[in-house]
Amino acid sequence: MGMKETVLEKFAEVFGDSEGVKVYFAPGRVNMIGEHTDYNGGHVFPCALTIGTYAVARKRDDRKLRFYSMNFDALGVLESSLENLKPEKEAGWTNYPKGVMWAFGEKGFEIPNGMDILLNGNIPNGSGLSSSASVEVVTGFILRDLFGFDVTNTDLALIGQYSENKFNGVNCGIMDQFAIAMGKKDNAIFLDTADLSYEYAPMKLENAKIVISCSNKKRGLGDSKYNERRSECETALSEIQQVVGINSLGDLTEEQFETYKAAIQDEVRVRRAKHAVYENQRTIKAVEALKNNDVELFGKLMNESHVSLRDDYEVTGEELDTLVEEAWKVDGVIGSRMTGAGFGGCTVSIVKEEAIDRFIEQVGTAYEKKIGYAADFYVVEIGDGPVIL
């Protein structure tokens, strides 16, 4: 039975019938390179995946909202209403779709009817492959489809980010929502987060695949050091702005940074800002390498990205470092780095096809031996953005 049949059957079971429903899908994403640059006005290079969030939805005649997630089935049906769109601890995961509904209202799109919504995600939970952004984008996609709102896919990304910032209190950049809303099969998105200009770059990985290694270390984004890193960079930027007229750290080349970094009053902030600047330049070089079919150089830049995230930005931690350092030992690994916010979550590796089984065996064994619990591995494909199924 396919996922569409599975979610339709479950919807009928939970909500009594499945008359008048539609089925939707929005992907998860992985960022190949360009980490913690998206709120520093730099470039990112994510792609959408073929795993993601499936949703079944239908309009109601009243203002009631009824949510059910197959990933949190013990919670049963969570009820709310369009009159009561405010973040609440007990609302759990439904704060994400509710946040998007609230954000639509804030942007002038009043939602006239309540809905019954069922979700089922096949993104590993807590993996850092952006299950929350996937839920946000699929919710916006549902609202546009059911109520005919005049919004583009870029708008869906911006509304998703707005809801996460303002409703859920996570100071995230635009990358996750944008990668999901704008995904294109077999391409990654070279996005300049300063002005949202972007281009698609084909990920032509001859005889190699993308492998995601999930650390299974749980982390909560909002209560992690994410907001702390963000404010360290904002302070460093304002110090550099005392000596040179820039809008973001992403405006600087490596040479310019070395010239102006003395303006930053604190050694830790120097390292944070250095990562933002150098990582942005690495991302630009990596896309150039891909265009020249130089996958080896792309991999080398991925490795350098991890070192910078480990030493200068300090967001990796033992679990991610172990996954990456063990990956580097495997013959046939072109590049490997942590991806996502850090402190847990996943690594992304480009691995030659003939080495994939060995990679999973070797890295998996070493990880479990050192960390004490197992990692999970996913060989992934690059897919499209949101669709109606």
Local structure of 41: helix, strand or coil? coil
* 376 CB-side CA count, 13 A: 13
φ, ψ of residue 374 in degrees (nearest 5): -85, 150
The closest of 188, 172, 192, 168 to 180, measured between CA atoms, is 188
For the chain, the farthest-separated pair of C-alpha atoms sits apart, in whole angstroms, at 66
176 is catalytic: yes
* Rounded Cα distance, 229 and 11, in Å: 41
* Rounded Cα distance, 149 and 143, in Å: 7
Please report, to the nearest 10 degrees, the dihedral formed by the alpha carbons of residues 62, 142, 170, 302 taken in order: 170
Class of residue 76 by CB neighbours under 10 A (exposed 0-12, middle 13-18, buried 19+):
exposed
- Helix spans in 292-385 (H): 295-311, 317-328, 356-371
Local structure of 73: helix, strand or coil? helix
CA distances from 1 to 25, 49, 68, 185 (A): 17, 21, 20, 24
Q: Which amino acid is at 175?
A: M
**What single-letter DSSP state applies at residue 128?**
S
C-beta of residue 49 within 8 angstroms of C-beta of residue 27: yes
48: left (phi over 0), alpha (psi -120 to 50) or beta: beta
Quick count: other Cβ atoms within 10 Å of Cβ 87?
A: 16
- Say which of 38, 73, 155, 176 is annotated catalytic: 176
* Rounded Cα distance, 198 and 300, in Å: 23
Q: Give catalytic residues, as residue numbers.
A: 176
